[in-house]
């Protein structure tokens, strides 16, 4: 799987990861399954530099963050500890309006008014593009 991620576009390398930026729309749960089926996971954003790299793609994407298990306890899909001080929520988010338990990065359109701080919690049944992430193969 790792070579496939590196060699085929539209996969993009950044530091120790490679990313797949989807062109189709899926729910958050279907996006998670789709990434897993490719040997990857929904993107886990650990740094400001990674946030900027993902944001530059120019679309709205599901990211690998959810509080579906317990309200208010956000968890990354790869079990990386969630750090609120290293999160990029829009002001006033997450707000859990209408049972919003999945996270997206809003880059495109009227939702992108806060630059790098563009995460929003959404209802998990809404359909978005997705970013899948896997470890880069270093040769």
Digitized pLDDT (tens) for each residue of the chain, 139 residues in all: 333 444 344 555 556 788 899 999 999 999 999 999 998 999 999 888 888 888 877 789 999 999 999 999 999 999 999 998 889 999 899 998 879 999 999 876 555 566 677 899 999 999 999 999 988 765 5
Query: Distance between CA 126 and CA 85 in Å, rounded?
Result: 27
Long-range contacts of 10-14 (CB under 8 A, 24+ apart): 12/53, 13/136, 14/49, 14/50, 14/53
Q: Domain-by-domain residue ranges, the chain?
A: 25-33+42-129
The model carries a pTM of: 0.84
Pairing assessment for the beta strands 75-76 and 102-105 based on DSSP bridges: unpaired
Q: Which CATH class is domain 25-33+42-129?
A: alpha beta
110 φ, ψ (degrees, to nearest 5): -65, -20
């Amino acid at each position: 799987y790792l070579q496939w991620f590196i060699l085929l576009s539209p996969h993009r390398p950044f530091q120790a990861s490679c990313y797949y930026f989807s062109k189709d729309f899926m729910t958050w749960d279907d996006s998670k399954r789709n990434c897993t089926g490719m040997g990857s996971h929904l993107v886990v954003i650990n740094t400001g530099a990674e946030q900027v790299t993902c944001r530059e793609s120019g679309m709205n994407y599901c990211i690998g963050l959810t509080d579906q298990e317990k309200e208010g306890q956000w968890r990354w899909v790869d079990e990386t500890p969630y750090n609120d001080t290293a999160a990029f929520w829009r002001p006033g988010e997450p707000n859990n309006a209408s049972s919003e338990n999945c996270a997206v990065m809003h880059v495109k359109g009227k939702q992108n008014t806060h630059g790098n701080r563009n995460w929003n919690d959404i209802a998990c049944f809404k359909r978005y593009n997705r970013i899948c992430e896997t470890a880069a193969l270093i040769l």
